[in-house]
Amino acid sequence: MNKVLVLNGVNLGRLGTREPSVYGSTSYPQLAASLVARGSALGLDVEVRQTDDEAEMIGWLHESADAGTPVVLNPAAWSHYSIALRDAVAQRTAPLIEVHISNVHTREEFRHHSVVSAVATGVIAGLGVDGYRLALEHLAHGFDAQSSEAAR
Ligand code: DQA
């Protein structure tokens, strides 16, 4: 099965109790389990991780770059200021989809800009936790296209 990493940044482990009017009521463990299940239905081996430690996140991005593993990344607050994270994402060797649960463009001004977006393959924002599922579907589609190309 094709591997995909779903990486979640700072504070996302608190989904479910954290500002539910903004981020919804799905807990982080529920989100992780649903993405693993959705991934396996799509033929993907999905591993979901979360950290509040920026250095750990950067290590995971290096790991994905070295292994050529596609990534779904919610960089959370780091999106808005971490050049270190952006530089790690820029090293990617496979597609990387940036996901935001909330529509950052309708919120405070400091959330309108993501330093990561310019080096991501694409961005999904404002579709709730459904954004992660859509990102997995896009990546699965890419793997399918690759295998039909190889079969030709
Ligand atoms: C977020 C939006 C960020 O502005 C915020 O700091 C987060 C979550 C989202 O998923 O909507 O932690 O990335």
Please state, in angstroms and rounded to a whole number, the distance separating the CA atoms of residues 52 and 103: 21
Q: Give yes or no for residue 101 CB within 6 A of ligand 1.
A: yes
Q: Give yes or no for residue 114 CB within 6 A of ligand 1.
A: no
| Cα 63 to Cα 30, 80, 132, distances in angstroms | 25, 23, 20
Find the domain containing 139 and state its range: 2-151
| Cα 96 to Cα 71, 75, 90, 143, distances in angstroms | 5, 12, 10, 13
Q: What is the CATH number of the domain that holds 40?
A: 3.40.50.9100
- 108 has a pLDDT exceeding 90: yes
Per-residue pLDDT reduced to its tens digit, 42-62: 999 999 999 999 999 999 999
Q: What is the mean pLDDT of residues 122-142?
A: 97
What is the number of structural domains in the chain?
Answer: 1
Mark whether 100 is an active-site residue: yes
Q: Give yes or no for residue 74 CB within 6 A of ligand 1.
A: yes
Structure confidence at residue 147 as a pLDDT band (50, 70, 90):
confident
Strand-pairing partners, residue 124, are: 99
Selected catalytic residue, list 23, 28, 113, 138: 23
Q: Give yes or no for residue 85 CB within 6 A of ligand 1.
A: no
Per-residue pLDDT reduced to its tens digit, 16-45: 999 999 999 999 999 999 999 999 999 999
Q: Which of 12, 85, 109 best tests ligand 1's pocket when mutated (most atoms within 8 Å of CB)?
A: 12
- Cβ pair 126, 105 in contact under 8 A: yes
Token pair listed for 27: 């807990």
- Pick the atom of ligand 1 nearest to 107's CA: 4
| 106 CB neighbour count, 10 Å cutoff | 10
Q: What is the mean pLDDT of residues 127-146?
A: 93
Token pair listed for 10: 């700072």
Q: Which of 21, 81, 111 best tests ligand 1's pocket when mutated (most atoms within 8 Å of CB)?
A: 111
Mark whether 28 is an active-site residue: no
Exposure string over 109-148, b if 16+ CB within 10 A, otherwise e: eebeebbbbebbbebbbebebebbbebbebbbeebeeeee
pLDDT value of residue 83: 98
Maximum pairwise Cα distance, the chain: 49
Question: Token pair 């940044």 is at which residue?
Answer: 9
